[in-house]
Amino acid sequence: MGGALGCADVVTYEKGVTPSGPPRARVSAGAGWGRSFLAFGEEDVTVDKFVVVGSSDLFLGKYTLTLGVGGAPAGSVVGERATWELRSGFLASAALSWRVVDEGATLPFVVFNAALSALLAKALLDEQVGDYRATDFRFSATAGKSLEWVTAYLSLRVFGGPVFLTTDGETRVGGDRYHVQAALGAVFALPAGFDLFGELAPVAEESVFAGVGYRY
């Protein structure tokens, strides 16, 4: 996507996490890098961004509501005409997940997810200061298996949304060249409700993301 989160659909499947029963909520913090491939008319543009994100999950039976906020302190927009630096970025997201298939002895769990995210950042070129704004609508299907203390998953995503680049008084509207993403990830359960998670998306929209979570 042109630059919102685009990094993490970390699975929060509840299975034997705490002895007193499933947790009701989870908070997490993570950081990552993402690369998006955009088109502004006939011009192809590559966007790199470093993001830091905090999020909160609320478990509602088979559903999970996730809210996230964070920053994009560094990045770049590389086009055929110029290269802009991205600075002072702010991002926010909201997502709803639905566990449609519970995990069995041989059956993987399956989770559907719908998410909306946005990124606002400054675009710098020499002494010019412009704006970079991106919105992203994303739908995903995730399947995975839990083995004792680790949960591994595969996520397939489709997405899209407008991107606005305003420089020197001109606003250009673009969008993603690719609208699909495949990602592999894992969540490692730790004592006392903590977990570590990581994810890699190596093709189309590229990203790597990792962090720590706490369930309560």
What is the tally of structural domains in the chain? Answer: 1
Range of the domain at 130: 25-215
Identify whether 14 is part of a domain: no
Identify whether 2 is part of a domain: no
Identify whether 197 is part of a domain: yes
Identify whether 86 is part of a domain: yes
Identify whether 204 is part of a domain: yes
Identify whether 178 is part of a domain: yes
Identify whether 195 is part of a domain: yes
User: Cα Rg for the chain, rounded, in angstroms?
Assistant: 18
User: What does the pLDDT read at residue 203?
Assistant: 86
pLDDT tens-digit series, residues 165-179: 998 888 999 999 999
pLDDT tens-digit series, residues 112-160: 999 999 999 999 988 889 999 999 999 999 999 998 899 999 999 999 9
Cα(159)–Cα(170) distance, rounded to whole angstroms? 26
The CATH number for 80's domain is 2.40.128.130
Cα(185)–Cα(157) distance, rounded to whole angstroms? 14
Identify whether 147 is part of a domain: yes
Res. 64 pLDDT band, cuts 50 70 90: very high
DSSP-assigned states of every residue in 75-96: EEEE-SS-EEEEEEEEEEEEEE
Mean of pLDDT values over 8-28 = 58
